[in-house]
A and B are shown apart, each in its own frame.
Chain A
């Protein structure tokens, strides 16, 4: 019921009384960046794939409305676990959406361990996690090009032709194979989100990063796969997924060093093996 904060190497991370992320304060400069996290989904467009009546499916992301349906923040149930080695905030967002926020006092990356599914099969849903900040971004964001350079993306814009936007959301969605970022040049800030698998994402709304984490579409999009994107999972009731995202905040000049180093470390994560030993003392 109370607001609280957790310290990392360079930040104070503030949560509100519901256990939702509220702001990040950079201790060195005193800058406070409002950071709100939301969970939501777009309803998939259902069509018969004739003419402009294309359905959302495996190849095509086409929401039926341009605004996501958001889970109410006030319904989040949070449980906080605090130890010197790690602080965790367990959040139950809805019946089929939850996450654990992990804050390591010796790291500046906030880890999100999310779980999603099974998505109710009443309609097609495309689930997103969104961070909203007070950063001034002008609809410009950056996505990686499969681990090479960061590509600048501009709202409703293509560098090689004049674009007429007919799908404001999906027209601004791009592949996010390892990271997506937004920048605030005036305040010298960059917020980067790294992921553990190829996803889709956007940052075309002012100060926002959005990543699509799960989809369930009940209709084939007619692009060749001839199957609806409707995986049943272990029990046929729908796929449950668990994944991780990492959020970093830094100066623009320091951002590349931080996210490239972290991406390398995530890629080369330590390998754990076990042995049963007759004498552990001797083994040690």
Chain B
């Protein structure tokens, strides 16, 4: 509760009109950003504990110490991520806070496109390397990033639950498809009608 309260309180402070509309003075805006960053960072340890508890319920896991530290990235909004760029193999855990199953397209900044992605059942997942547009590459906020592409793949997440996808770097020839430049879209897959219950 102590860890989460800071975000709870700063979130409340930032419902004040000057934070919503941007009419605060610049040094106040900077302080808001700092406080929000710090309070979000505090919550990461709570998520870490929760995910670790849930993960350890999986009977197949022989060695709990193999879990490693949970890593967060707050730069994905500028297509930069120190973890995906610096590690060739990673477990990517995606948590769905929504009360329904979600199909989510994940975009991870990478320096190489040669990754094999597998789903929670160990089955291969088709991934694509999308070039990051030049104006995004030029953002000052991502000055330390070396990623020029994003690995894009589809994830399927249970309601209020998580799924872990494994990224493994593959030496040798490219194993991933690349988004192709095209002017004709007749090759798209047929559309499957979906019935919905309201």
* CB-defined contacts of B98 to chain A, threshold 8 Å: 264-265, 268, 270
28 example contacts (A-B, Cβ-Cβ < 8 A) are as follows A4-B185, A6-B185, A6-B188, A9-B194, A59-B23, A83-B152, A85-B126, A85-B128, A85-B152, A86-B128, A92-B135, A98-B135, A225-B25, A227-B25, A231-B29, A242-B77, A264-B98, A268-B96, A270-B102, A273-B47, A273-B93, A274-B71, A275-B69, A276-B68, A276-B89, A276-B90, A280-B89, A283-B166
A227–B29 CA distance with the chains assembled, in angstroms: 12
Q: A7-B191, A275-B70 are in contact. Are A1 and B183 (CB under 8 A)?
A: yes
- A100 at interface by CB-CB < 8 Å: yes
- B34 at interface by CB-CB < 8 Å: no
Q: Report how many A-B pairs have Cβ atoms within 8 Å.
A: 192
A249–B189 CA distance with the chains assembled, in angstroms: 22
The reply to whether A105 and B135 form a contact with Cβ atoms under 8 Å apart is: no
A7–B91 CA distance with the chains assembled, in angstroms: 33
> Which of A2, A177, A231 contacts B183, CB < 8 Å?
A2
Prevailing SS type, chain A contact patch: loop
User: Which of chain B's residues has its CB closest to A81's CB?
Assistant: B179
Binding-face segment, A39-47, A157-165, A233-241: A233-241
A115–B137 CA distance with the chains assembled, in angstroms: 11
The reply to whether B166 and A284 form a contact with Cβ atoms under 8 Å apart is: yes
Q: A88-B179, A227-B25, A284-B118 are in contact. Are A273 and B72 (CB under 8 A)?
A: yes
> Which of B103, B118, B157 contacts A106, CB < 8 Å?
B103
A223–B126 CA distance with the chains assembled, in angstroms: 55
The reply to whether A274 and B92 form a contact with Cβ atoms under 8 Å apart is: yes
The reply to whether A272 and B51 form a contact with Cβ atoms under 8 Å apart is: no
The residues of A with any CB-CB pair to B shorter than 8 Å are: 1-2, 4-9, 58-59, 79-88, 90, 92, 98, 100, 104-106, 115, 177, 198, 223, 225-227, 229, 231, 233-235, 240, 242, 257, 264-265, 268-280, 282-284
